[in-house]
Amino acid sequence: MSHTRLLFLSFVIVVAGSARADLVNKNVETVVDISSQLAKISNKVTVENVGKTTLKSLIFGVPAHLKERTSFVTAKVGEHLLRVTETKLSGQDGGFWKVDLRSDLAAGRTLQLNIDLVLSRALVPHPGQITQKEKQLVLFEGNVYFFSPYLTEKQSLTVNLGTNSVESYARIQPVSQSDNKLNYGPYEKVQPFQEERLNIHYENNSPFLTITRLERLIEVSHWGNIAVEETVDIEHQGATLKGSFSRYEYQRESQSGISSVKSFRTALPASAVDVYYRDDIGNISTSHMRVLSDSVELELRPRFPLFGGWKTHYTLGYNVPSYEYLFNQGDVFVLKMRLMDHVFDDMYIEHLITKIILPEGCHSIELSAPYAVERLKDTLHHTYLDTKGRPVISVSKRQLVENHIDDFELRYKFAKVLMIQEPLLVITAFFALFVLVIIYVRLDFSISEEEEHSRVDREHKDK
Amino acid sequence: MVTSAALYHLMWMINITIDIRNVCVFLAPFFSSLTTIVTYLLTKELKDSAAGLVAAAMIAIVPGYISRSVAGSYDNEGIAIFCMLLTYYMWIKAVKTGKIFWSALAALAYFYMVSSWGGYVFLINLIPMHVFTLMVTGRFGARVYVAYCTLYCLGTILAMQISFVGFQPVQSSEHMLALGVFGLCQLHCFVDYLRGHLSASDFQVLFKATIVATGTILAVITGILTITGKVSPWTGRFYSLLDPSYAKNHIPIIASVSEHQPTSWSSFYFDLQLLVFLFPAGLYFCFRQLTDANIFLILYGVTSIYFAGVMVRLMLVLAPVMCILGGIAMSGMLNRYMKDVDASPVILGMPAGNLAQGKQGDKRSKHKQESNFVMKSEIATLFVAIMCFFLISYTMHCTWVTSEAYSSPSIVLSARSHDNSRIIFDDFREAYYWLRMNTPEDARVMSWWDYGYQITAMANRTILVDNNTWNNTHISRVGQAMASSEDKAYAIMRELDVNYVLVIFGGLTGYSSDDINKFLWMVRIGGSTDRGAHIKEWDYYTPQGEFRVDKEGSPTLLNCLMYKMCYYRFGQVYTEGGRPPGYDRVRGAEIGNKDFELDVLEEAYTSEHWLVRIYKVKDLPNRGL
């Protein structure tokens, strides 16, 4: 059995072409943080090249049931980020990533890596419906072992629950519970691709808010302003509310509706001004803004508390000065801004659409995104004093978490002369209007001379 | 609506990407500024440009009109007043000149008015009345004939294009005056024509015979048409205009609207202030110098002040004419005294247009007055000063009224807490937005009709009855559901296919116009149709005839659906220090029925200050349970 497996494995690795069976995970320390709505897994991996050749890359992965839920992956050596690309291993239906090492790993050498994963939707409310006074229990199904194509010699796992009320957890010995942590392992000689479900059923009342759709609109003006507007659809995707909502209990008992969300904090850039927070039916009067040294913090309170299954929708907008984000040399401009921004801590965005509206007359537009995004069709936007319309660059991405907050770069060309086009347009329009009025007042367009007669008549009478 | 859409598309066409919402918000102020201009033109036609300026300045700030023209009051009335004044202006122009051009324009303006507001009925009765008065006073001539016939024919044909109006202009009794006067016009002209060709005695005989014959024929025709139902009977709204007590006695639904209540004197003063006193003075000035146009103004003033007295809402129609008459009076009086302020012949403060006339009049009056009065200049100065004082106080009053009464949105309430900070009650929007986001899109919401429009617009959900529901029995059915006990109400709610029920409850915050205070109207309206005959207003009073929600209250009231929905779980809440739990701050009483459960409904949402409570209608229980 193990023979065939090894054979098969080597075949797989040959196919993958980048990793060898002669890598071994000497030691893996995994920390799983499931105290929020996301599952954050950080692995401290020590790999050793037991083969004879020098290695340039290695591979790690997640089991099949977590593949779709993995939102974010990073690998670091010390503080240096490594390039991670998604890859496939034939015969395996899990998700795999290839890490390009910064320096080659010579035979017999070891290297310590930090591999972090963020899983979204990995915590399933169980039961799926609760009444207002019940607490929210969720079920986490992870993997006990570090999922790797290589042999793991020693692994230990710590689960951070954020609570000490646990209904049940997978008892894969050795395991112990201390306070709000579960300690698994150490396990020796974990085979490649070994799976063991890590089932934990525990209480989690942290906000289970999902941003089902975030549309971020960045409108650039060369007159010194960048307007940002975010339209947000939020849904509480925790256990849905069963039965009635009682305002009386909600107001009187602090434990009532503990999994519901009253408000959340959004951090905006420090230079944000003219902040507005509204929805389809007007300004939402329940929000507070605090200007901190490095950001503007908004405490947003939806119109109503969000219970499980409840949705809301709002628009948040602000202005930032363009000198912080827009750089130019001659006619070449570079816009460097965040592709998405913070909405609340431990957020999860299902679908992001970012639109960038550039001034009229921009051309040769090149976009470089920090990660793979889907570029939508460019459109034109017509607004005040436009003649042929402003170019709009749109990108879309699914499944994002806080770690995705990163800058994009947009390079374009714009002749500065065009800036006076709009003032000129206004001047010309008014000039034409005045000329018309002058002509109309000075000249007599009447066909008959009736008016003249009556005027003459009147003058006669006056005399 | 069409207007704002047209403006919106026009703006977009020239790449002004303004939100349709902003168009709507600024539509009323935009049209009120146009109204100011039209008022100037109209008054100028009626009197002179000086009076026009004063009238325009007055209408710009008169609270009676500002109530409909503040930004955000997206209402048909805002446009309608502009249309009405525009029609009047065109009409006066047409009467003065006798040109078809002006009366055709008047017909167009009338068409716009018809399409915007149901109050056009006032207009189509006032103009014929004007024509009729002109006939009676012997001022009828070819000019008026041309003007009226063109306006009536064109205006009626155009008005019939509006689907809402349809064939009403020739069928309903509200339009009969116009039709009758139109007929009279023809007769009058025909008679005039005959008079020119016949001797006086023959004419007398013919005249009498014609009148008797026409009268009889008309009466018979009207009778037949009314009986066969071709001419609709007088509608309730019209009766309540003619007889203020009619609605109170017969149609509870009309009487339940606060805007349809008779106007109190204080609200006249509140909305018009100085103009109330200038109105008779203006009438005096009109009578002193009677012209065709002035007769119109007098008629307009007198009829509208009557209607405004019948219904608060029609204050809106009164406000412009008050301003016009006020402007005429004010400018007339100031003109009279201003020239005496300075003894020197140079006249200051008189508009240029009047200069020529003023000078001539001045010389004449000087001769007379110099002998009669001492301290002429001082008295004049005093008078002008007093007038200035009045005008300033008018301005202050208007500003104050506007800021106090008409500037705050009615949907967001605010109150002062004891430390004088502002508390905002945004409960309506909170609850409506909850409905919008968290109920199925096809959910049907039952509420009292006052909130119909708000729910449709803000919550985007289907409602049963709204502010424009004409079906009286439907509203009555909702009233019956609210006034019945739970199981009977459930049957009605199943019948009406309701998913959610919304009530407004002010007992926690002290918001007095809530559903419990409106409840008696629901009972009355509910009981006004056949199916609700079992609902009797007296069952909801105590034996002493009081409407009480505490223990003394009638058991019917304490167990009806509305009561239960408003006070569900309220019995445990402490609202005020030193009071028992369940103390209702509006009624000032501890509620009588505290611990009850709802069987057929469940609380779906209650807003933060309990102002809006939404209940979900439970499905039928499974069989065998």
ipTM of the prediction: 0.84
Residue B269 sits at φ, ψ, to 5 deg, of -65, -40
- CA of B116, closest CA in chain A: separation in Å? 25
Nearest beta carbon to residue A285 from set B15, B426, B616: B426
How does the average pLDDT of chain B come out, rounded?
Answer: 82
Is residue A338 a contact partner of residue A352, using CB atoms and an 8 Å limit?
Answer: no
The C-alpha angle with vertex B104 and arms to B100 and B110, in degrees rounded to 5, equals 145
The residues, any chain, with a CB within 8 Å of residue A420's CB and separated by 6 or more, are: none
Look at residue B593 in the predicted model and tell me its pLDDT: 83
Separation of first and last alpha carbons in chain B: 52
Continuous segment of H or E residues that includes residue A154: strand A151-160
pLDDT of residue B346: 44
**Dist. CA B143–CA A14, nearest whole Å:** 104
Tokens of A383: 């607004």
Question: Is residue A7's pLDDT more than 50?
Answer: no
Q: Please report the pLDDT score of residue A312 as a whole number.
A: 92
Q: How confident is the model over B495-508, as pLDDT tens digits?
A: 888 999 999 998 88
A311 interaction partners in chain B (CB closer than 8 Å): 437-438
Whats the size of chain B, residue-wise? Answer: 625
Could you report how far apart the first and last alpha carbons of chain A are, in Å? 128
Assign B324 a pLDDT band (cuts: 50, 70, 90).
very high
Residues B166-191 as b/e (b if ≥16 CB within 10 A, e otherwise) read eebbebbbbbbbbbebbebbeebeeb
Residue type, B567: Y
Q: Is the peptide bond before B320 cis (omega within 30 degrees of 0)?
A: no
Mean pLDDT to the nearest integer, B556-582: 86
Provide the token pair at B253. Answer: 């639904």
Q: What is the mean pLDDT of residues B139-161?
A: 89
DSSP B302-336: HHHHHHHHH-GGGHHHHHHHHHHHHHHHHHHHHHH
* CB spacing of B430 vs A304 below 8 angstroms: yes
Task: pLDDT band for B247, please (50, 70, 90 cuts).
Answer: low
**Tokens coding B23:** 């168009």
Distance from CA of A385 to the nearest CA of B (A): 6
pLDDT band at B347 (very low <50, low <70, confident <90, very high): very low
The pLDDT confidence band at residue A463, using thresholds 50, 70 and 90, is: very low
- Is the CB of residue A251 less than 8 Å from the CB of residue A230? no
Chain B residues touching A229 at Cβ < 8 A:
none
CA A433 to chain centre: 50
Mean pLDDT of B238-261: 64
- CA-only gyration radius of chain B, Å: 30
Contacts with A, B 337-356, CB within 8 Å: none
Q: Express each pLDDT in B582-612 by its tens digit.
A: 888 888 888 888 888 888 888 999 998 888 9
* Helix, strand or coil, per DSSP, at residue A182: strand
Q: Which pLDDT value is given to residue B348?
A: 45
Estimate to the nearest angstrom the gap between the alpha carbon of A136 and the chain centroid. 25
Torsional sign, CA A20, A21, A24, A28: positive
- Closest-CA residue of A relative to B571 is A248
**Does residue B6 surpass a pLDDT of 90?**
no
Rounded distance, CA A208 to CA A260, Å? 8
CA-angle at A281, arms to A276 and A287, nearest 5°:
40
A398 φ/ψ angles, rounded to the nearest 5 degrees: -110, 160
pTM above 0.95, yes or no: no
Coil, strand or helix at B432 = helix
Can the peptide bond before residue A423 be classed as cis, meaning omega within 30 degrees of 0? no
Rounded to 5 degrees, what are φ and ψ at B42? -65, -45
SS (H, E, C) B88-141: HHHHHHHHHHCCHHHHHHHHHHHHHHHHHCCCHHHHHHHHHHHHHHHHHCCCCC
| Residue B360 confidence (pLDDT) above 50 | no
Q: What is the per-residue pLDDT for B266?
A: 85
Please say if the pLDDT value at position B404 is more than 70: yes
| pLDDT range class, residue B618, cuts 50, 70, 90 | confident
Q: How far apart are CA B76 and CA B82, in angstroms?
A: 10
Tell me the C-alpha distance between A187 and B460, whole Å.
58
What pLDDT, in 10s, does the model give residues A260-273? 888 999 999 999 99
Q: What is the pLDDT, as a whole number, of residue A140?
A: 92
- Write out pLDDT tens, residues A307-343: 989 999 999 999 999 999 999 898 899 999 999 999 9
Average pLDDT over residues A135-142: 91
Pairwise pLDDT comparison (A322 vs A5), residue with the higher score: A322
B392 pLDDT band, cuts 50/70/90, is: very high
Q: Which amino acid is at A254?
A: S
- pLDDT at residue A379 above 50? yes
pLDDT at B253: 63
How many CB atoms are closer than 10 A to CB B357? 12
B303: left (phi over 0), alpha (psi -120 to 50) or beta: alpha
Distance from CA of A284 to the nearest CA of B (A): 9
Residues 6+ apart with CB under 8 A from A52: A22, A107
Greatest alpha-carbon pair distance for chain A in Å reads 128
Chain A residues closer than 8 Å to B424 by CB: 285
pLDDT at B596: 85
Report residue B232's pLDDT band, with 50, 70 and 90 as the boundaries.
low
**Gap between the Cα atoms of A204 and A216, Å rounded:** 30
> What mean pLDDT comes out for the span B536-555?
85
Q: Are strands A166-169 and A95-105 parallel, antiparallel or unpaired?
A: unpaired
Task: Name chain A contacts of B616, Cβ cutoff 8 Å.
Answer: 244
- Spell out the residues 6+ positions from residue A35 whose beta carbon is closer than 8 angstroms to its own: A160, A161, A162, A163, A180, A204, A206
Closest to B156 measured CA to CA, from B179, B189, B122, B131: B179
Q: Is-contact B424 B414, C-beta < 8 A?
A: yes
Q: Helix or strand or coil: residue B509?
A: coil
Work out the percent of chain B whose per-residue pLDDT is above 70.
87
Note whether A311 contacts B437, CB cutoff 8 Å: yes
**pLDDT score of B157 more than 60:** yes
pLDDT on residue B70: 79
| Interface contact flag, B603 A246, Cβ < 8 Å | yes
Q: Is the pLDDT of residue B625 over 80?
A: no
Residue type, B579: R
Q: Is the dihedral of CA B80, B86, B90, B93 positive or negative?
A: positive
pLDDT for the residue B170? 74
**Contact residues, chain A to chain B, C-beta under 8 Å:** 243-248, 252, 279-282, 284-286, 303-304, 309-313, 382-387
Q: Find, among B405, B440, B430, B444, the residue nearest to B608 by Cα.
A: B430
Residue type, B455: I
H or E stretch including A198? strand A197-203
Residues B560, B562, B563: CA angle, nearest 5 degrees: 70
Question: Which pLDDT score, from 0 to 100, does residue A107 have?
Answer: 85
Residue B14 has pLDDT above 80, yes or no: no
Residue type for position B259? E
Question: Is the Cβ pair A310, B438 closer than 8 Å?
Answer: yes
How far from B555 is each of A429, A435, B222, CA to CA, in Å? Answer: 73, 79, 52
Q: Is A227 exposed, middle or buried (0-12, 13-18, 19+ CB in 10 A)?
A: middle
What tens digit of pLDDT does each residue of A26-41 get?
999 999 999 999 999 9
* B124/B172 Cα distance (integer angstroms): 12
Among the ranges given (A279-283, B241-245, B531-535), the one the predictor scored with the smallest mean pLDDT: B241-245
Distance from C-alpha of B72 to C-alpha of B75, rounded to nearest angstrom: 9
Q: How much is the pLDDT for A232?
A: 94
At A219-239, the pLDDT tens digits run 999 988 999 999 999 999 989
> What's the whole-number mean pLDDT along residues B549-575?
87
